[in-house]
Every structure is written in C-alpha cells, then in structure tokens.
Amino acid sequence: MTTDHLPVQPPVRPMLAKSVASVPAQSGSDDAPAYVYEPKWDGFRAIVYRDGDEVRIDSRNAKPMDRYFPDVVAAVREALPERCVVDGEIVIARAPEGGAAHLDFDLLSQRIHPAASRVTMLAETTPAALVVFDVLALGGDSLMERPLTERLEALDGLGLTGPLVFATPRTLDATVAAEWFASFEGAGLDGVVAKPADGPYAPNKRAMLKIKHARTADVVLAGYRLHKTSTPEQPLLGSLLLGLWDDAAPAPRLQFVGVAASFSAGRRAELVAELAPLVVEPGTPEADAHPWHGWADPAAGEPNDRLPGAQSRWSAGKDLSFTPLRPERVLEVGYDHMEGSRFRHTAQFKRWRPDREPASCTYEQLEEPVRFDLGELLPGAPGTA
C-alpha cells in the first residue's frame, strides 16, 4: 500500500517498556501528573496506518500484518479517521460456556497462517479487535513530538468505543492502577503500564514502565537436549536451550541463560518432530556459524560468554552435548529470578511468540531486582561490610 499523504511514514517501531516491581507512585501536580496508567494488553502490538481506503498494520518488528487480520482492516476503515497513524494492540477475546470473557493469545496466534482461506475462516469465526492507546498522526499533523497528554486528547476525540476498535481505559490515580493490577488479571491482561505524561513518542525506546503479575521473558531457542529415556526409535526432547542477546559486548552475542524442561512424554516426542526443520547438521558451514558452536572448548568465546556446556560440580560426568537449532524461534518463559546473567532455576515454557524477532530478545527486557543490603540480615558476615 501507499501512505504518501501521511505525515508519519512506515516503518515506525513502537515505544517499549521496562519492567519494574510495582506501580510507581504518582508525583507532580494534578495539572501536571508524572504518569498515565493503562492496563497492559496481551495481544499483538500493532502500528496502524490509514490513508483513505489504504490500511497497513505493522507488527512490533515493523512487518506488515494486515493479511492476517482482514477483520481489523475493515474495522479500521469504519472507525478511524481517513488519515491517521495509531499505536495499539490486536486482541481476541473468548467467553467459555458459563464463564467470563478473557483474552485468548492462543487463538490470536492461529492467525499467523500461510493459507489465506484459513485466515479468512478464523476472521469470521473468531474476529479480532484493536485496542488503541496512542495517536502518532492525525490528518496532516504528526503528533509524535507532542507530550502524551496532548496525544491522548486527540485519542479521546476519536470516540473509539467499539465494537471492534476501542480506546484503552486509563487513569491518573496510582491507587486505581494498583486495583486494576489486582483485578484485571482474571480477564487475561498482563498487568499495568505507566507512561510519562509529558513524554514524546519514542520509537523503539524503553520509555515506559510495565508491571506484570509474574516475571516472564522472551528468549531465543537455539538448541535442545534429549531426555534420558529417549531412544533412537523414539527420540524425546529433554530440555529447550534458551538464549538472550547481549548487546553490551563488543559484538552482540547470544548468551545461554537456562533451559525449559517440563513437558509431558507426548509433548516431548512432538517437539522433536516440530523442531526438526531447524536442526543444524554437524560439519556444515551453518554449524560453524551457530552462536554456541564452540561449547565443548573451555577456551572458546570471550571470557564472559555463557555457553550451554559449562562444567560445574553439578554437571561433572554428565553428557552436555545438544542438538543445535537455527536461532530463529522465540518463546516466552516464566522465571522466578536471575542469578547473574542466567535464570536461577529451570524456566517454565509459556508459549511460542511468532510475533517476536530473535534479535529483540535482549537482557534489557528483564526486570531489575530490587536491591537489598544482605548486611541488614547478616550483620558482620564476610563480604557484607
């Protein structure tokens, strides 16, 4: 499509958020609050461009998604002004029989399908909605440099009340935001977002704060190990090997951060078959280019590199070999806390993330632990002074 008449041209990378432990307190005055609080939606982030009848929907990675959401394209033509650019989230809601409606990310993920007939069928049976929370351009004006409060005034003027395009709820009251955090989880929302009220739109910058119900991370899948009960006749996956990109190094490096390993026997067999197209064959140039190709050599890599074969007193004598995979798939995992640059315990597989690029899976997304002086608990202990 063409967007020649829009003052903001694609691609625009969406503004991002950094995790914090709790809802930040409001500061400033009633006339100049520090934050605007919103629910955190669990869907596909979308930058939507409308130029007359032309509609383009870009993913978080600036890849067009309109072909997967014809229902949203039609809804945008009905609800949004003829010339505008907005930031929002595509979601799908589901109401089980006798239950309350909630967001369904699995249904949403099914839309990323190569067959147009399948997409059309899903758009008819489980239509998606667009939740708008920012306006980047309106008519012939770019609003990106204006403060959030002014952009929200423009959003209010659009009158987006559904049924398929909505303006997100928001509040200036931190107490209300904390109540949302506690109550909205049952509807499938991720948590709460706090946005600087006077901030401009900052593409691809972590300029917002997010408060989530549990620690999660989007990680790169770069290999797997077989289960101890695996046989040549019936291979079973034991654990997925997870990585995060470290941009702080002289050159970006995929650091090994842990494993996800809790699967049923049936799922272990399915995963081996599902991941077969990604397997890197040994002795090939592709194998030499794998980020962890030197895992078995203690001298391989830089001093601070984390590879999935590091020996310890816990791993002595164990077979640490693994099947390398092309690092092209992203999954979301749950974790309790970090120990240095890795997950302290085994991570919990949550879901595949087809909407995420492996390069976007960096340490920046992780919640920074609240600092606490151990000397307050163990006064005088070695190392606490």
Let me know if 63 is a catalytic residue. Answer: no
Q: Are residues 224 and 202 in the same domain?
A: no
Beta bridge partners of 28: 33
Are 132 and 87 contacting, i.e. CB atoms less than 8 angstroms apart? yes
Residue 353 domain-assigned (yes or no)? yes
pLDDT tens-place string over residues 211-254: 987 789 999 999 999 999 999 999 999 999 999 999 876 778 99
Question: First-to-last CA distance in the chain?
Answer: 63
Which listed residue (18, 40, 205, 210) is catalytic?
40
Q: Count the domains in the chain.
A: 2
CATH of the domain at 262: 2.40.50.140
Mean per-residue pLDDT over the chain, rounded: 87
Rounded distance, CA 162 to CA 122, Å? 20
166 and 264 co-located in one domain: no
Residues 156 and 275 in one domain: no
Put simply, whether the predicted model's pTM sits higher than 0.75 gets the answer no
Domain shared by 317 and 188, yes or no: no
Instruction: Please indicate, yes or no, whether residues 104 and 231 belong to a single structural domain of this protein.
Output: no
pLDDT(300) > 90 = no
- What is the CB-side half-sphere exposure of residue 73 using CA atoms within 13 A? 18
pLDDT tens-digit series, residues 161-211:
888 999 999 999 999 999 999 888 878 888 899 999 999 999 999 999 999
**pLDDT 10s digits, 268-283:** 999 999 999 999 998 8
Domain extent at residue 318 = 216-365
User: What string of DSSP letters covers 222-275?
Assistant: EEEEE-TT--SSS--EEEEEEEEEETTSSS-EEEEEEEE----HHHHHHHHHHH
